[in-house]
Amino acid sequence: MKLYDADPNVLVTFSHTNVDFIIGLGNEYLPNMTDPIKARNWLQQRVQPHLPQTRITCITMGNEVFKTYDHQLWSNLLPAMQTVYNALVDLGLDKQVTVTSAHSLDILSFSFPPSAGSFRQDLSEYLHGILNFHAEVKSPFLINAYPYFAYKDNPNEVPLDYVLFQPNQGTVDPITNLKYDNMLYAQVDAVYSAIKAMGHTDIKVRISETGWPSRGDDDEAGATPENAGLYNGNLLKRIEEKQSTPAKPNVPVDVYVFALFNENLKPGPASERNYGLYYPNGTPVYNIGVQGYLPGMVYTSPSTKIALSVVSNVLFIVIAYLISA
């Protein structure tokens, strides 16, 4: 599971389980995290008390920082990552917990064909250092990838079956002759190509967000329970099969699905409130074959009822956990 924060209620509730957690520090905390004392204090207060009983494996520094166009925030990202990692080393926690950040797909200037993927020129000076950091500490590069957005913006040009993992003709990369039968894998390989263009071939790409809304406004094409069920259900099957992308045949795709629950108070278009697999009461929004788990968790005992009350802060669920549950 992936959290936007380090909510102690959630982390305590999931102690002594087999659930791995990514926890997050919001963009607003990045300036403070460039200070070694503040970084160490945060780790000692919010992370160290939960180890090793809760399996915290990763800390994300900010979320989609380069989407903010706040150049001071851009400048703070790498120093914050480095400072928190160094504090983990000082505390002897760096073997258990790694450091990364999650990026939106619009950090790419080109995403098709996948082999021509490249980062935006205005971000190159920042991404060079970030990629060097990932290579040094061996942490993954996280990307938030949503084929839904591509379909919503161009429903007459983007084949729906191609973005929903349904049978389709696919598309061929004219440079590599690799065939893609879905957009998500093409997006991931475009990120790998962009990383390679900056001189790195040893950094793993993980999908820290992907999903499909079950409802949207009138101008949000494709936002239906049927399409959401197909997208997440077909994706789950591919993860269960340990599929890889065409350009990285030996690296199984690693995905976090957005989101565990619908967020009824989230601002913006209707789709933003309807990415959840479940309603807040634990009942499934649609059937993708995992609908039994949360009701089972909720109603079996008083202790697990507590889990539901605090798990509303959990916005992501790793499919691998659902499969193994």
Q: Which residues are catalytic?
A: 64, 209
314 vs 25: CA distance, rounded Å = 14
Cα–Cα distances (Å) from 99 to 37, 130, 271, 291, in that order, read 17, 11, 30, 32
- Strand segments (E) across 77-233: 98-104, 108-110, 118-119, 141-144, 171-172, 179-180, 205-210
Residue 310 backbone dihedrals phi, psi, to 5 degrees: -100, -20
Question: Hey, what are 66's tokens?
Answer: 């380069």
160 vs 227: CA distance, rounded Å = 9
Q: Are 220 and 271 in contact (CB under 8 A)?
A: yes
Q: Which conformational region is residue 202 in: left (phi greater than 0), alpha (psi within -120 to 50 degrees), or beta?
A: alpha
Helix (H, G, I), strand (E, B) or coil at 281: coil
* Listed residue (98, 7, 102, 87) closest to 43, CA to CA: 87
